[in-house]
């Protein structure tokens, strides 16, 4: 069977995606699969490289430079070159797509829609879950309907900020207390996120977040631990032991997480059995609320008196060597290679189920 490993992309999380792809190439079972790497450049070109029969030597080797087919054929094993292809050319029999694209145009339902249109099985959440999980405002509305506890928040639109900033201040300061956290609605990995301790900092934080999205969310800052639970499955939902991001600062930015590796993880998290069970129950409920499939990582806040608040659900969490998601499963008893294989099988089962529904509707 062929695996189309798609990574890169036009989002701010381009480099994280490459690191994730590199980690997967080190662990995939080459005995059973031909791995076709497809690198989406920052400008949006799709470059297909040589078929991988073994792990690549570095993440940089997956950043293809464009070459014509003749050059690619001559440079046997030259995995640093790729041929531009049309996205629809990946439609093939006996193949599954493994997209590891983070952020906009990757985990927001757009590329999942392409896979649905061309009729290919793919790893991860579908269009609905991807779009809703990526959008922090919409997911908060859904979690509210599902009865999942959250910190207070205020959604802010760019147009409202531009035309009546004072009204935005009244909404934020009338509902929330400082400090506040300001986030783009459709971005991940701490990109565009700031903390504000006063109005001047709030102005700067809103302006920063609006560089990444026209819709942002302002959240109540609280003193809390950050815990995460990994979810795996389709209709049969499985959850991992909780893990904790042990903070030495208020929050970690993109560079701290992925470039400098300054994040310390505690797995399993030091919590009571009751808290652990509640976290896992909330994670499964959030996954089901979004109509998740394949994988997700659910992030929570835990206060000193064991109050739990759901923060967000990431439908395509990172698979880098520092990432929480695979480490959570490793500590729950599922190794990296087996995890990758399970995700592929979940994608195939979900595709078969959907095909069966479509067939019954047409007959």
- d(C-alpha 75, C-alpha 79), whole Å: 9
Strand 153-157 and strand 215-220: the pairing is antiparallel
Residue 346: pLDDT over 80:
yes
Domain 224-349: assigned CATH number? 3.30.470.20
Residue 96: pLDDT over 80:
yes
pLDDT at 69: 57
Q: Is 323 noted as a catalytic residue in this protein?
A: yes
pLDDT at 257: 55
Tell me the binding residues for Mg(2+).
Answer: 299, 312, 314
Percent of the chain with pLDDT over 90: 79
Tell me the binding residues for ATP.
Answer: 136, 181-183, 189-190, 219-226, 311-312
pLDDT at 74: 43
Edge-to-edge strand list for the sheet holding 180-184: 153-157, 215-220, 180-184, 194-196
pLDDT at 76: 47
DSSP assignments along 228-266, one per residue? EEEEEESSSEEEPPPEEEE-SSS---HHHHHTS---EEE
pLDDT at 105: 87
Domains of the chain, by residue range, sit at 2-122, 152-220, 224-349
Tell me the binding residues.
Answer: 136, 181-183, 189-190, 219-226, 299, 311-312, 314
| pLDDT band of 159, cuts 50, 70, 90 | very high
Strand 225-233 and strand 243-246: the pairing is antiparallel
Q: Is 363 noted as a catalytic residue in this protein?
A: no
Residue 79: pLDDT over 60:
no
| pLDDT band of 263, cuts 50, 70, 90 | confident
pLDDT at 322: 81
2-122 architecture in CATH? 3-Layer(aba) Sandwich (3.40)
> Mean pLDDT across the stretch 341-351?
97
Task: For residue 122, give the DSSP letter.
Answer: B
Q: Is 86 noted as a catalytic residue in this protein?
A: no
Catalytic residue among 17, 23, 139, 189: 189
Catalytic residue among 11, 194, 240, 323: 323
> Do 161 and 206 meet the contact criterion of CB atoms below 8 Å apart?
yes
The predicted-structure confidence for 1-34, as pLDDT tens digits, reads as follows 999 999 999 887 899 899 999 999 999 999 999 9
- d(C-alpha 25, C-alpha 42), whole Å: 21
> Mean pLDDT across the stretch 102-114?
92
The predicted-structure confidence for 313-340, as pLDDT tens digits, reads as follows 999 998 887 899 999 999 999 999 999 9
Domain 152-220: assigned CATH number? 3.30.1490.20
């Amino acid at each position: 069977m062929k695996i189309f490993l798609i990574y890169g992309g036009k989002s701010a999380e381009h480099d994280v995606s490459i690191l994730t792809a590199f980690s997967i190439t080190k662990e995939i079972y080459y005995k059973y699969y031909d791995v076709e790497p497809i690198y989406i450049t920052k400008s949006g070109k799709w470059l297909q490289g040589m078929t991988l029969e073994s792990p690549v030597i570095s993440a940089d080797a997956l950043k293809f430079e464009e070459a014509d087919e003749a050059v690619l054929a001559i440079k046997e094993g030259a995995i640093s070159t790729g041929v531009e292809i049309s996205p629809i050319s990946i439609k093939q029999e006996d193949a599954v797509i493994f997209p590891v694209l983070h952020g906009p145009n990757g985990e927001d339902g757009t590329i999942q829609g392409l896979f649905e249109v061309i009729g290919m099985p793919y790893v991860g959440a579908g269009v609905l879950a991807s779009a809703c999980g990526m959008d922090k405002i919409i997911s908060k509305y859904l979690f509210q309907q599902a009865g999942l506890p959250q910190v207070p928040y205020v959604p802010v639109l760019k147009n409202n900020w531009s035309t009546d900033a004072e009204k935005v201040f009244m909404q934020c300061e009338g509902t929330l207390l400082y400090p506040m956290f300001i986030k783009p609605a459709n971005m991940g990995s701490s990109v565009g996120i700031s903390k504000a301790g006063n109005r001047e900092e709030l102005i700067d934080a809103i302006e920063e977040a609006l560089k990444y999205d026209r819709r942002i969310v302002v959240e109540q800052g609280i003193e809390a631990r950050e815990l995460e639970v990994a979810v795996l499955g389709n209709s049969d939902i499985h959850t991992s032991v909780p893990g904790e991001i042990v903070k030495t600062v208020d929050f970690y930015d993109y560079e701290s997480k992925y470039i400098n590796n300054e994040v310390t993880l505690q797995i399993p998290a030091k919590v009571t059995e009751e808290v652990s069970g509640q976290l896992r129950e909330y994670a499964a409920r959030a996954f089901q609320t979004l109509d998740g499939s394949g994988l997700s990582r659910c992030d929570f806040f835990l206060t000193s008196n064991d109050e739990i608040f759901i923060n967000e659900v990431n439908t395509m969490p990172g698979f880098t060597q520092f990432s929480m998601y695979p480490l959570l499963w490793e500590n729950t008893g599922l190794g990296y290679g087996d995890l990758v294989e399970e995700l592929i099988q979940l994608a195939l089962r979900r595709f078969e189920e959907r095909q069966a529904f479509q067939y019954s509707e047409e007959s």
